[in-house]
Amino acid sequence: MDTTVDLDTFSSLVERPDEGARRGAEERWQQLAVPRGGLGRLQELGAWLASARGEAPARPLTGARVLLFAADHGVASLGVSTLDARGGTADRVRAVLDGTAPVAVLARRYGADVRVVDVAVDADPNEFPEEVVRHRVRRGSGRIDVEDALSADEAARAFRAGMAVADEEADAGTDLVLLGDLGVGSTTVAAVLVGALCGTDAAAVTGRGSGVDDRTWMVKCATVRDALRRARPVLGDQLALLAATGGADFAAITGFLLQAAVRKLPVVLDGVVSAACALVAQRIAFRAPEWWRAASLTGEPAQAKAYDRLTLTPLHEAGVTMGEGVGAVLALPLLQAAGDTLAEPSAVPSAKPLPPRAPAKLPTAADLLDRY
């Protein structure tokens, strides 16, 4: 398999969303006699969806997909997370697959499919279905404070795996991706990438992640500091950066984001991991962020710094800190509303009428008096 990646081509392949469709959406709002700004974010989101899909009026969203990239990280062995470093990621994958994880419950509620892509979970691949593990690159990753997360070949393979997933989703008719991740130790890795790309020190980007205490935060901060020293020499080569201080999931998500932009597939980012990958992808193709929207803030300082660099404003403030795609799924109803409001009435599926309900027998005054 050819694992070489020419990052320079993305700059020319990634186009801007359709400006004509955006103007068409704005004209559509005028036809609906909606005051300027009268529907708030719905108008901006409707115009974004129309331009991303190259059509006005836009069709309603019917093929949303929750996409979760899963991987383990060597730094988890340092105890930088409250989650179990051994088997914690695999357990989270199982919870999504069996439908008990919050993201799976919410996805069912809002009519979105869920897909998990295992690129480096430290578990026997036979534990998961073939469609989950077929893009796996390796088991786990190196401890990025003292060694590379991946080899150069593994980083390229993971990047190309993410590209392949983007092509699969585009070819399958997915019209919106809600992007998340599953991985113990991933917020530590994300802090390193954001800190390196934004030129900040460890304390400015290290957050509480899974809810660590002060002592663990100091361990985490020291880990980020040591990994930043390893990241800075390779800042000019994005694949080398992902190999040195990223991981297979970070490389795959970066490749996915860029290829999704090439395929004109809009994406909603969730959590600090996808934010960090988006920041790497922006370095490769400066127009790519126009194809993304941010779901919400999780309280991670690295995520806030990344969104500031990407000039992305979160869609809601639900206070969700767990990641795993939950914040992105909670943004789906808002995007569905934006698409439905802008679409032709005949294109919006009608809600099924509720079955008639027998009128309740309310007690009369005589009934009440009879009780006494």
CB atoms within 10 A of CB 66: 28
Pair of tokens at residue 130: 């073939």
In the annotation, is 300 catalytic? no
Tell me how far apart the alpha carbons of residues 324 and 328 are, in angstroms, rounded to a whole number: 9
Largest Cα separation within the chain, whole Å, is 87
Instruction: Give the dihedral sign, CA 103/105/109/115.
Output: positive
Separation in Å, CA 260 to CA 161, 176, 321, 332? 12, 10, 26, 18
DSSP category for residue 120: E
H or E segment at 341? helix 326-342
**Are the C-beta atoms of residues 307 and 314 closer than 8 Å to each other?**
yes
Instruction: Give the dihedral sign, CA 245/248/251/257.
Output: negative
**Residue 347, Ramachandran bin (φ over 0: left; ψ between -120 and 50: alpha; else beta):** alpha
Active-site option among 169, 290, 324, 344: 324
Cite the active site residues: 324
